[in-house]
Amino acid sequence: MTSPDSRSAERKPAKVITYRVVKSERDKSAVIKGEFSSDTVFEVVGSNDGFTIRPARLDPPVHKVFPDDEPEPDETSEGERRFVALDGELVCGYVDTEYEPWNRRLIIADIEVAGPYQGRGIGRTLMNHAIDWARECGAGHVWLEVTNINAPAIRAYQRMGFTFCGLDTSLYSGTESEGETALYMSRFLD
């Protein structure tokens, strides 16, 4: 297995973490089970003039493990790129990107850091690689989607310069994430 199981791996100091564009099938096929715990939800409150997003405490906190409901892509297109974080040969994080030239947008399709490696700056470094790639592509902004109950990710994205730019109350309808709201965040590039 090329990625650690965040529920069973011990939290121990990482060796030197290295980063690179996917070079092998092993890098490309690595899967890290997305999960998080949060004591906050970002509520969406509608009004006649639009909506407000505000943090609200959760009691008890929520722990979410993302379901395996996304289809595997058949092949990678020219605008897609995966950057991986490696602890030795072990993939401990990755970010998948897709560039859309028509609106000069780089989409963060997925970003994952295995549980034992979270809180060490790996996600930020992966995002920096994605932003550098966005600039190489000529992107004007980077865009992503996050569930409103993933407060740790939302706060991290805000620290990285992302701001809310929209939402979708129906994106997760009929899925295991029913009742959650998709929040869209973007970061304009200089």
Please state the rounded mean pLDDT for residues 65-80. 64
pLDDT score for 120: 93
Let me know: does 65 contact 34? Beta carbons within 8 Å.
Answer: yes
User: What are the tokens at 161?
Assistant: 């310069």
Architecture of the domain whose range is 17-188: 3-Layer(aba) Sandwich (3.40)
Highest-confidence range of 17-31, 42-56, 63-77, 153-167, by mean pLDDT?
153-167
Q: Which residue ranges make up each domain of the chain?
A: 17-188
Q: Give the residue among 137, 145, 51, 127 at the shortest CA–CA distance from 100.
A: 137
pLDDT score for 11: 46
Please state the rounded mean pLDDT for residues 12-31. 77
Q: What percent of the chain has pLDDT over 70?
A: 86
One-letter amino acid for residue 139 of the chain: A
pLDDT score for 155: 95
User: What are the tokens at 26?
Assistant: 């092993």
74-103: pLDDT as tens digits: 555 678 999 999 999 899 999 999 999 999
159-173: pLDDT as tens digits: 999 999 999 999 999
pTM of the model: 0.81
Please state the rounded mean pLDDT for residues 34-49. 87
pLDDT score for 35: 82
Q: Is the pLDDT of residue 32 over 60?
A: yes
Please state the rounded mean pLDDT for residues 150-157. 95
The residue with greater pLDDT, 141 or 4, is 141
Let me know: does 57 contact 40? Beta carbons within 8 Å.
Answer: yes
pLDDT score for 133: 97
The residue with greater pLDDT, 184 or 36, is 184
| Average pLDDT along the chain | 86
- Supply φ then ψ for residue 24, to 5 degrees: -135, 165
- For residue 46, count CB atoms less than 10 angstroms from its CB and return exposed for 0-12, middle for 13-18, buried for 19 or more: exposed
Q: Is the pLDDT of residue 28 over 50?
A: yes
- Angstrom distances, CA of residue 67 to CA of 15, 18, 95, 154: 30, 28, 18, 19
